[in-house]
Amino acid sequence: MNTTLLQPAPARSLGGRPDYIRIEGLSKTFGGRRDGVLAIKQIDCLIAQGSFVTIVGPSGCGKSTLLRILAGLLDYEVGSVMLDGQPIHGTRRDVGVVFQSSILLPWRTILENVMLPAEVLGLDRKQARERAMHLLQMVRLDGFEHKLPRQLSGGMQQRASIARALLHDPKILLMDEPFGALDAMTRERMNLELQRIWMESGKTVVLITHSIPEAVFLGDKVFVMSPRPGTLERVLPVDLPRPRTMEAMSHPAFAAAAASIRERFSHAASFD
Ligand SMILES: Nc1ncnc2c1ncn2[C@@H]1O[C@H](COP(=O)(O)OP(=O)(O)OP(=O)(O)O)[C@@H](O)[C@H]1O
Ligand SMILES: [Mg+2]
């Protein structure tokens, strides 16, 4: 047995505010009162500062809706969503978002793409450039600063997107199926990279995935949502120490966590 798996989790996640993100009674309906679609229903949860939360659930259950509300990209009428004691309404600077496709501007170099938030937010250009170079190093893209997105692989483009989301030093990183379009091997590497970046940066991360192994591998907690209208059915803690290696996937605790999620969704076809 790998003894590193038996070591306690590092102190990193301790001491952070346990209710850093507080969601209470959150429901969201799209459209009118009569023909509206109830996307998410009565969600209550807490997300601790510095923790890594993953969200799984069947297609259409409201995962992206929840994430867009957290990002301030979508408003809500029922319930409350608080970040560090402040209600979330509208976009905010302390949040960075990564979507499934990397959405890099094809005519701009990787460095110029990563620096985009600095232009939008009016940050000092010189400082932003320095930070962008540092982040590109962190996501192991140094040497590719002056390439165009099409000259990079899908995984490299996604790493550039992560660097861009971190440029303005947000406290929270929200990721909506960021690795969905990648092949299995690249995806595993990206999971390791993301874990490293998260551990180095101390951010609070919320990541949506269709992959149960990915959810268990990355998450301190896995939020399991029901089919639409999406409710938060379970919050599953994953008690595997960090940093997790691919070996963690053969640990009995990993298999047990994945099995308990899979069992719940044995009739849903939308999982890996
Ligand atoms: N802008 C919108 N207008 C109307 N209905 C919407 C809108 N966005 C989402 N919906 C509806 O809300 C429900 C939840 O959608 P959402 O995109 O949050 O699901 P999801 O869990 O992210 O699905 P997937 O796993 O396929 O990405 C769906 O029924 C969808 O049709
Ligand atoms: Mg979605």
Q: Taking Cα atoms as reference points, which of 248, 168, 258 lies closest to residue 209? A: 258
**Higher-confidence position of 159 and 2:** 159
CA dist., res. 10 & res. 52, Å (int): 13
* Mean pLDDT on 196-218: 94
Whether the upstream peptide bond of residue 243 has omega within 30° of 0, thus cis, is yes
Residue-averaged pLDDT of the chain: 89
Alpha carbon distance 54, 69 (integer Å): 16
CB-based pocket (< 6 A), ligand 1: 30-31, 37, 39, 57, 59-65, 228
The residue whose CB lies within 8 Å of the most ligand 1 atoms, and thus the one to mutate among 26, 55, 61, is 61
pLDDT value, residue 268: 53
Instruction: Tell me which of 37, 41, 74 to substitute to probe ligand 1's pocket, judged by most ligand atoms within 8 Å of the beta carbon.
Output: 37
Residues 195-212 have a mean pLDDT of 93
**More confident: 60 or 269:** 60
pLDDT digits (tens, 9 = 90+) for 52-105: 999 999 999 999 999 999 999 999 999 999 999 999 988 888 899 998 887 899
Per the DSSP assignment, residues forming a β-bridge with 87 are 82
Q: Show the tokens assigned to 125.
A: 């250009």
| pLDDT > 90? residue 216 | yes
Q: Give the residue among 185, 232, 174, 234 at the shortest CA–CA distance from 208.
A: 174
